[in-house]
Chains A and B, each alone.
Chain A
Amino acid sequence: MSLAINFGGLGAFPTLKQVLGNIPRLPVIGLVITNKPSITRSQELIIMDERLEELREHIENNGGEAPFMIDNGAILRAAPKKKLSHQKHRAKLYAPGNKQIQPLQNLIRCPACGHVKRSHVMCMHCFHEIRTFLKAKKRDLGIIKDTVNPQTDIEPIDEKLLYPKKELEGEKRKLQDRKYVPQREQPLMFQKGEQIHRRKGVWANMFRQN
């Protein structure tokens, strides 16, 4: 429950102080959206909303109390009417047996690099290393043929003038870094005691090390 109230987009207006002084703070459920006023817009263009004046009159007549429902710049979201019972809550989470992610049991030491890998599956750390190595080898054998563009020698200033549409805009230039492509994490080095046995559990494994 947040107690913040925000009148979106009307912070710069002078008559707001009068309005704010009269409205008591209401408890609000949900997200608060802040609509910051744009700097370029001049104050002359801002017109007082009719609804705000109506609100002020309403509050004055009502003895300083706010009306029942007002959207205080917040989104009111659907909320559950009743609390979930203990049984239903636990049934939802734990009744389907496959829902919990089990620790992997088939982890072994990769003989080529010593990192952790799944058995019967190639080590991806080695795979990426070998693939980059073989790609260079493919070029030597002539399986990959690189085509050379005829106009690669042009200076960047000339290229701007000749092909103005080739220069990418701000967001498209960011996409060239390809940060949206998910990268695989480097695996840890394999150590024998770290693997958790399913039957014996975590505790048994910890005692065994001691």
Chain B
Amino acid sequence: MPSLQKFHAQVARHNKSMMKNLCANLIRNEAIITTKSKAMKAQAKIEKFLHEALENERAFNAKEKPLDIKDRLAINKAFRYLQPPDKEEVGSKIINELSKRYPNRKTGFTRIIKLERRLGDDKAPMALIELVDSPIEFKFWYQAKVVARLELQNLPLDDLTSHNVKKLTKERENGEEEFRNAVETCKREFFKYDTESKEFLDPEIEEQIKNIPTNLEYYGGDLVGKVLVSKKHPTKPRFKKEIELPPSPFLADSK
């Protein structure tokens, strides 16, 4: 029977190959659920790898004669980080898809979202690590769901959600259009809302939507645009005095 502890996180050799596998699988699947510590360790490696690979890719594009994919895979030194069997599949995805998705991006290719602990004896804190601006982005769809819920409650967006939406749609291609479509699909999929007849198909969800946030000052009230301002101790901008200095007697022009 094979031993259960074949793969040690403490051994450097094992740890390196673990990071390589996580890197390849993240690019392959766009999002991975792992433990929090593994995700945070792997994130640094993945960011470094993607930065180098895409920088080299831009340098090849700048040349007069653009190279073929086979040559690029061979020449690009960043791909040496990957395991040999993953090299062709993952490398070609970076060349074809990711270079178009991130034309100007240098950092911040990935995002970590903290999840609840694993159910079981382990109780390990889990996390989701995903590629930014991918077609399957968890945060994008979560924010779309938030906006859909607020629209069904007839409430305007608060500052935090509008800030998050702006961040998500800024770098994405046709971001605002895609987000608008996502909100409409969220209404249909998650809230069972018929847009034509304007009725909820599920009575349970109709009751859940009545659970409105209590701090309505932030939702189109007095405190819009004042997320960071304290309600107890409101601060005013500092008054600046304009003082005219007397001319110095040592300069020749002053006389």
Known: A121-B116, A122-B128, A184-B119. A114 touches B136 (CB 8 A): no
- Assess whether B208 is in contact with A114, with CB atoms less than 8 Å apart: yes
Q: Which residues of A contact B209 (CB under 8 A)?
A: 114
Q: Which residues of A contact B145 (CB under 8 A)?
A: 112-113, 126, 130
Residue in contact with A134 in the complex, picked from B115, B116, B136, B150, CB distance below 8 Å: B136
- Assess whether A121 is in contact with B115, with CB atoms less than 8 Å apart: yes
Q: How far is the CB of A192 from chain B (nearest CB, A)?
A: 6
- Assess whether B190 is in contact with A129, with CB atoms less than 8 Å apart: yes
Interface with B: A12-20, A37-45, A137-145, A157-165, which one? A137-145
Q: Cβ of A201 < 8 Å from any Cβ of B? A: no
B interface residue count range (under 10 / 10 to 19 / 20 to 34 / 35 or more) = 20 to 34
Q: Cβ of A174 < 8 Å from any Cβ of B? A: no
Q: Binary interface profile of B, 115-139, with partner A (CB < 8 Å = 1, else 0)? A: 1100110000000100000011010
Q: Cβ of A124 < 8 Å from any Cβ of B? A: yes
Q: How far is the CB of B71 from chain A (nearest CB, A)?
A: 26
Within 8 A of B (CB), among A95-138: 109, 111-114, 118, 120-122, 124, 126-127, 129-131, 133-134, 137-138
Q: Cβ of A150 < 8 Å from any Cβ of B? A: no
By beta carbon, the residue of chain B nearest A130 is B141
- Assess whether B136 is in contact with A112, with CB atoms less than 8 Å apart: no
**In the complex, A113→B192 CA distance in Å?**
13
Known: A118-B116, A121-B114, A121-B116. A112 touches B211 (CB 8 A): no
Q: Which residues of A contact B128 (CB under 8 A)?
A: 122, 127
Q: Which residues of B contact A118 (CB under 8 A)?
A: 116
- Assess whether A112 is in contact with B146, with CB atoms less than 8 Å apart: yes
Q: Which residues of B contact A183 (CB under 8 A)?
A: 119
Within 8 A of A (CB), among B130-176: 135-136, 138, 141-142, 145-146, 149-150, 161
Q: How far is the CB of A106 from chain B (nearest CB, A)?
A: 12
Known: A111-B161, A129-B190, A189-B208. A124 touches B136 (CB 8 A): no
By beta carbon, the residue of chain B nearest A131 is B138
Known: A112-B146, A130-B142. A143 touches B136 (CB 8 A): yes
Known: A109-B213, A182-B120, A192-B214. A133 touches B208 (CB 8 A): no
A interface residue count range (under 10 / 10 to 19 / 20 to 34 / 35 or more) = 20 to 34
- Assess whether A134 is in contact with B214, with CB atoms less than 8 Å apart: no
Q: Which residues of A contact B138 (CB under 8 A)?
A: 122, 127, 130-131, 134
Within 8 A of A (CB), among B79-121: 113-116, 119-120
**In the complex, A128→B39 CA distance in Å?**
19
Q: How far is the CB of B40 from chain A (nearest CB, A)?
A: 15
Q: Cβ of B30 < 8 Å from any Cβ of A? A: yes
- Assess whether A126 is in contact with B142, with CB atoms less than 8 Å apart: yes
Which of A112, A133, A137, A189 counts the most B-chain CB atoms under 10 A from its CB? A112
- Assess whether A141 is in contact with B211, with CB atoms less than 8 Å apart: no
Q: Cβ of B217 < 8 Å from any Cβ of A? A: no
- Contacts from B to A (Cβ < 8 Å): 28-30, 113-116, 119-120, 128, 135-136, 138, 141-142, 145-146, 149-150, 161, 189-190, 208-209, 211, 213-214
16 A-B pairs with CB atoms under 8 Å apart are A112-B145, A112-B146, A113-B208, A121-B114, A122-B113, A122-B128, A124-B116, A126-B145, A130-B145, A133-B190, A134-B138, A138-B136, A182-B119, A184-B116, A184-B119, A191-B211
Given A122-B138, A127-B115, list of 9 further CB < 8 A pairs? Answer: A111-B150, A112-B145, A113-B208, A114-B211, A121-B116, A137-B136, A138-B136, A143-B29, A143-B30
